[in-house]
Amino acid sequence: MLVLFAVSFAIAYHQGFRWGLPFVINARPLSDGFFVVGLFVTSVGLLVWISSTGFFDIFTYAFRSMLVMFTPFVKPENFPNFYDYKTMRADKRQKAEFTTLVMGLVFIALSLLMLWIYYS
């Protein structure tokens, strides 16, 4: 979390944040910094959440089956079919984590708050 704030402040500093300026003027660059970090972290959180549902299992199965087809080490008869692969992955799958998604949404909310302060 501290790293995210540090990146946000680095982006805000690049956008014109200065310690001597009034807070109302500094709210715009802070909004930019919080939004960029929030958008990135929210996107990663959404990908983590979607992958915990098993959405990407078909892509991993396709990639692994392509490797089986083109390597002589694993015989295609020993490779499981998609249903068996999907149930095996479902047994190993852990519960969905929402912390990354929530942190990203918090940073977007901070960005909206700073934008509201800047325009009011």
Mean pLDDT, the chain, whole residue set: 91
The answer to whether 100 and 44 are in contact (CB under 8 A) is yes
The domain total for the chain is 1
pTM to 2 decimal places: 0.79
**Can you give the residue range of the structural domain that contains 75?**
2-119
CA dihedral 60, 61, 64, 68 (to 10 degrees): -170
Torsion of CA 71, 92, 50, 68, to 10 degrees: 10
| Helical spans, DSSP H, in 16-52 | 23-51
Confidence of residue 54 (pLDDT cuts 50, 70, 90): confident
- Residue 106, pLDDT score: 97
Given a contact cutoff of 8 angstroms between Cβ atoms, the answer to whether 101 and 42 are in contact is: yes
